[in-house]
Structure 1
Amino acid sequence: MGYGYGDKKATFEEFLKLQQESEERYEYIDGEIYLLASPRTAHQIAVTELFGIFYNFFQGKEWRPMVAPYDIELRRSEENINVVQPDLMIICDLKENLNEDDYYKGVPSLVVEVLSNSTKRKDMIKKLDLYLSCGVKEYWIVNPDNKEVTVYLFEDHNISKHATYKADEAAQSFIYEGLSAEIKRIFRF
């Protein structure tokens, strides 16, 4: 659950101060700070399996799969800065968007979030809207509870396509031809 300071939202500067002073991991979305809890086993297995699939698929290509914890700064506007840590992401422009402190300042082309009870609402509503409005092209929502993966294609700040995969199916990327992940492999635990 998100929180600010008292009944007001936190500023970006307050978020940065909290982040610097704490060993905990946080996300900052539309003025609310979210503590990131330690993930469960099914969550980590899904992330690991997907990372393996993505890593093998993108081997030798210019795109790079990355895993959390890795801060991604997304701006709805100059003033509305958000910081998230997607479970998994594909970055196409890493070299062009590294700042002098070695932090990535671009927008991933594909983002994956694995749901948990504590993040479900944030991942399915707040982050979907954030990713859609900030230039992410494809968003995978992985649900270990019902063993489904929903893939969204974003174009012109709208959902242009989406598909849900389960059981004996394989989730398919809209933007990377040939990138697929067998549902049984993702949820092998």
Structure 2
Amino acid sequence: MEITSTEAQNNFGRYLKLAWFEDIIITKNGKKTVVVRRYEEPGKDVSVVAEKAEIYFWDQEKITYEDFLMLSESSENRYEYIDGEVYLLASPTYDHQCIIMEISNVLYNYFKGKKCRPLTSPFDVTLSVSDNKNVVQPDMIVICDTENINEKGRYTGVPTLVLEVLSDSTQKKDLLKKLNLYLQAGISEYWIVNPWRKEVYLYCFAELDIREYRVYQSSDTIKSLYFEGLSVPLEQLFS
């Protein structure tokens, strides 16, 4: 992120927080002069940490939604923003993408010619809970309110179905934080794919509560509780 020396002087505290996630390059008279960078302890292998599917800065201060937008719009990295906390996302694994491809093929065929549309990440979804805005990039979503795509191609609605594939570093967030966020935001159905146990956990939400919860294993076939006739055999998913 590049800012002028005037911006740095007027909003130093703001950019100091953003330096947790991106180097802040300060320019003067059009020339790059100073870099503000997050300090790393000597001997820490940053390259190993950066290869993980997600990094969460546990000791960083929360930032505002406006600052998050500034960060994400000026960066080539992918971020999520939940309850004021920032998550850095990296490229998914081969197995992760194979699972997404299998599910996306089923969803594409099921929804072909219907109003609802399946979409895959990266695609920002902004969800409001108690007037607090959160920005996530689920692995897959199904949206039935396509009228909420604005003139910039941004989605401003609430998906009907959300799907996440767990990874070593995202499972706590997907199983806890996102579960609660999706429930509170008004999403109807949440699928969680566990690639190690070869299981799928399906939550059906209604009236801000879990109406039904199912676990699919082995040779089971996942059956949507919201979309009649939508099903995915687990053997196909994990083949």
Range into which the TM-score falls when normalised by the shorter chain: over 0.9
Say whether 1:183 aligns with 2:234.
Answer: yes
Q: 2:189 aligns with which of 134, 138, 147?
A: 138
Counterpart-to-counterpart distance in 1, 2:224 and 2:113: 19
Task: Give the alignment's TM-score, normalised by structure 2.
Answer: 0.75
Shift of residue 13 of structure 1?
A: 1.3
Structure 2: which 5+ residue stretches go unaligned?
A: 1-54
Say whether 1:86 aligns with 2:126.
Answer: no
Shift of residue 100 of structure 1?
A: 2.2
Higher RCO by CA contacts (8 Å cutoff, separation 6 or greater)? 1
SS of 1:62's partner is coil
Determine what percentage of the aligned residue pairs are the same residue.
49
Shift of residue 7 of structure 1?
A: 4.1
Q: Name the larger-Rg structure.
A: 2
Shift of residue 34 of structure 1?
A: 0.3
Shift of residue 20 of structure 1?
A: 1.5
Name the residue aligned to 1:3. 57
Say whether 1:30 aligns with 2:108.
Answer: no
Say whether 1:68 aligns with 2:121.
Answer: yes
Deviations for 1:79-114, whole angstroms, at most 9, x for unmatched residues?
A: x100000100110011x1012211010000000000
Change (3 A) 1:161 1:51: same
Name the residue aligned to 1:77. 130
**Residue identity opposite 1:24 in structure 2:** N
Contact 1:43 1:114 in 2 (8 A): yes
Q: How much is the aligned-residue C-alpha RMSD, in angstroms?
A: 1.1
SS of 1:44's partner is helix
Structure 1: which 5+ residue stretches go unaligned?
A: none
Alignment: residue pair count: 185
Shift of residue 18 of structure 1?
A: 1.0
**Residue identity opposite 2:163 in structure 1:** V
Contact 1:3 1:9 in 2 (8 A): no
Task: Give the alignment's TM-score, normalised by structure 1.
Answer: 0.95
SS of 2:92's partner is coil
Shift of residue 184 of structure 1?
A: 1.1
SS of 2:56's partner is coil
Change (3 A) 1:169 1:102: same
Shift of residue 2 of structure 1?
A: 2.9
SS of 1:89's partner is strand
